[in-house]
Amino acid sequence: MQDESGKAALGNPAVASATKAQNSLHLNGHNINQNGHNTTATPAPQPQFGSGAPSPAPSPVLVIPREQWGGKYEFLLSCVGYCVGLGNVWRFPYLCYRNGGGVFLIPYFIMLFVTGVPLFLMELSLGQYGAAGPITVWKCCPLLKGIGIGMLCVSCLVCLYYNVIIAWTFYYLASSLQSPLPWSCDAIANIGLCGNITTNSSAGRGLSPTERFWNERVLGVVNSEGLHDPGPVRWPLALCLLAAWIIIFLCMLKGIRSSGKVVYVTATFPYFVLIVLIIRGATLEGSLQGIAFYLTPDWSRLANAQVWNDAASQVFYSLGIGVGGLLSMASYNKFDNNVIRDTLIITGGNCCTSFFAGFAIFSILGHMAWKKGVPVGEVADTGPGLAFVAYPEALALLPGSVFWSIMFFLMLFMMGVDTLFGNMEGITTAVLDEFPHLRTNTLHKSLFLGTLCFCFYLMGLLLVTDGGIYWFTLIDSFSTSFGLIIITLFMCMGISFFYGVNQFCQDIIDMIRHCPPWCTKVLYYFKACWVFCTPFLLLLILIYIFMEMYNTSLHYGPYVYPRWGKALGVCIGATCCMQIPIWAIVALCKETGTLKDRFQKSIRPLNSWRVNLNSSTRVEQHMEPERVEAPFTVTLTDMDFTAMTWDAGSEA
């Protein structure tokens, strides 16, 4: 039922279809039935046709188009560079020899294919389908928005301490430009050390030149008593840290358009160095003893729960799962990118890199052990101890040590920068998606990135003090510990049971479009992992972490952390995972109805979830309301028809 003024207002054929549509609409104060629900007339303000000043049309809400990778190789190299980081060089080889040599590969591959690869595919698929960062992407299930906030917290913690490693690398790289190397026995200052004149009373053995250089010249840890005594900032390291953040800022200034080009160098150069080191190490005396030490199997280690926990932690550490970097990088993909193929390529490449890096590391460590006449186990180390003490000492024994040192630390720098790109991309994408106007204003975007990098630099100054290594170890130990496992566990269960694993698999098939038969078959395996295997293993790992955290103390070298320090670390990890219940409560409070109704509404995807911003057929979008309840009533006036174009094909 319409009056004459209503008909005059419509005035075009498209409106005829709108009046037939089965939606309950108010047209100039009059009702039309929709979905079989009769509605009563509701007073609505009438448009004033006779007024001299026409009513202004409401400005449409435009969807700002997202950037896309310049090519599929940019995305692949960015992900490979993000995953292939320092953990592949200084952590995997050590874990391999400590946990039974070649036997460690068994739990490693099991954890990789049951937890690592399925979660990797889940993150890539979620980001690519939603074309959004780690926070906005949870429009698919608003109840779990806290997962994205938690990922953001983990990314911030990782960026805070990870660039400190790059600063150490800068320091060593600059020190490698002199001959002889300042940590070698050929240096004049180290003649007494190499003759065992100076002893380390705490260790009861001779202090090597590399240990003295690392502890006194680089860290200054000998001047600090512990966590409570950070001491002054070490300004050479502070300048290196500033240079590292300036490089990160410049590389990310234009988003993926700049970082996507940089990875052609930073992601491929480490492979060149590893190949060169493997070839050089194979020609050294004693290298076979190092390789044998790396791969000799100890089958009894399979019964040790620590081995399985180490395998799981290495998978999470190297693949970068649950931090938001993968999700953010995938959000810039084309909608029809084959995400299953990319997952298999990236995870397979990461695994092979970890394995072959062990040959480069232990062949040279074997030569050092042979030259010093000690077992390989006495020279092997992990973490910073391997990268900045054991391996530099081994390089100092090689002919042309300056060249090999420059190559090694340049490789570490490239690996660190690539990983930091991914973490920073997770942070910036999350913020830019929440405040999309920053994408259109280059100046504001640059100011935001500069402010972010400067804030990280200021906070990172704590980690380059005399006692900074104690804070570094604390953040490193707890930022990616139980909090990260809880985040990934909720992500897996939320997608599987709230969003729906069948719907999620269908989304992947929709993206691939021309889905090969093998992709469909592989999805059955991933579906089983997402629903059963992966959550079960994550839960077991979480229980073991809590038991281990309760029974063991945290220490750096001979220093044992006080209880308040360990409690502070637990609070750091809890801050990340506590975002999940906090934002779940917020989502429930935003809904209406009973608690059950609120819960059901908060796990339903928002209407804007399925608006894919990377579609080439959509240049500008009018965003729909986030959620519309049925039956519903919408009041339309004349200016609505001047600002909107009704789709004539929407008739029931």
Binding residues: 81, 84, 88, 318, 350, 418
Q: Return the amino acid letter for 479.
A: S
Whether 243 contacts 174, CB under 8 Å: no
Q: How far apart are CA 50 and CA 617, in angstroms?
A: 40
Distances from the Cα of 485 to the Cα of 80, 115, 364, 482, 574, angstroms: 22, 11, 35, 5, 11
Residues ≥6 apart with Cβ < 8 Å to 330 = 75, 123, 124, 125, 126, 127, 128, 339
Residue 620 neighbours by CB distance under 10 Å: 10
User: Could you tell me if 143 and 498 are in contact, meaning their C-beta atoms sit under 8 angstroms apart?
Assistant: yes
Residues 6+ positions from 209 with CB-CB distance below 8 Å: 183, 184, 185, 187, 190, 193, 194, 393, 396
In b/e form, how buried is each residue of 220-243, taking b as 16+ CB within 10 angstroms? bbeebeebeebeebbebbbebbbe
Q: How many CB atoms lie within 10 A of CB 487?
A: 26
Q: How many residues does the chain have?
A: 652
| Peptide bond connecting 581 to the previous residue in cis, omega within 30 degrees of 0 | no
CA distances from 213 to 173, 181, 200, 463, 536 (A): 14, 11, 14, 18, 46
Binding residues for Na(+): 81, 84, 88, 318, 350, 418
Separation of alpha carbons 257 and 259, rounded Å: 6
* Alpha carbon 469 to chain centroid, angstroms: 23
